[in-house]
Structure 1
Amino acid sequence: MQPTIGRIVHYTLNDTDANLIQQRRTTDGTIANTTSEGQTYPATVVRTFGGEAANLQVHLDGPDTYWATSRTPGEGPGHWAWPARV
């Protein structure tokens, strides 16, 4: 199934993502929980490219978000996945 705009997926932070988020929070004074590689957050698909790659707005555990660009589905850090059905 291909991503479509507005769908919610789960995105797992990679080390670069986590470091960029922490640097930005330090710079702008955002108070929030620490991020690290391997943490998974809900994300909204904001743009697709006709395949499985998508730009995501990641909803962090705090008052901010993170823009993850051109991410593909898969397992592990740096990838998004469909939420499990329960």
Structure 2
Amino acid sequence: MKPSIGRIVLYTLTEDDAQAINKRRADFDQHRKTDDYTDTGYVAHYGNEARAGDTYPAVVIRVWNDDLVNAKVLLDGTDTYWATSRHQGDDNGTWNWPPRV
């Protein structure tokens, strides 16, 4: 199968992905404790800890060729992660089709 815009795939996080996600969440957590924080439409980067090897559903946003895509990863929390120029595969940092059940 070829990827196309809007399709759901599974994306597996790398160590760098997980660190970036957890840093955004820690930054948000620290910022919301300050006096200048008010509920004015901030996107809350909040959720369970992300780890390398965790697999999440992702929506294909752009297709570069038969296996290279940009995808919006739906994390276990209030935020998403933009995985750019990722190949199909079984390793961390790749996407694959969900298994049929």
2:55 alignment counterpart: 40
- Residue aligning to 2:80: 65
Larger radius of gyration: 2
Count of paired positions:
86
Task: Answer yes or no: is 1:49 the counterpart of 2:49.
Answer: no
Aligned to 1:7: 7
Normalised to the residue count of structure 2, the TM-score between the two structures is 0.82
The DSSP-based 3-state class of the residue aligned with 2:87 is strand
Equivalent residue, structure 2, for 1:17: 17
Question: How far apart are the structure 2 equivalents of 1:31 and 1:49?
Answer: 30
Give the CA deviation at 1:76: 1.8
Q: Percent identity?
A: 50
User: What is the aligned counterpart of 2:98 among 67, 83, 86?
Assistant: 83
Corresponding position of 2:39:
none
Q: Give 1:72 shift.
A: 0.5
Deviations 1:17-72 (A, max 9, x none): 00000011111223310000000000000001132100000000000000000001
Structure with higher strand content: 1
Structure 2 unaligned runs (5+)?
30-44
Structure 1 stretches lacking a partner, 5+ long = none
Residues 52, 92 of structure 2: 8 Å contact kept: yes
* Displacement over 6 Å in runs of 4+: none
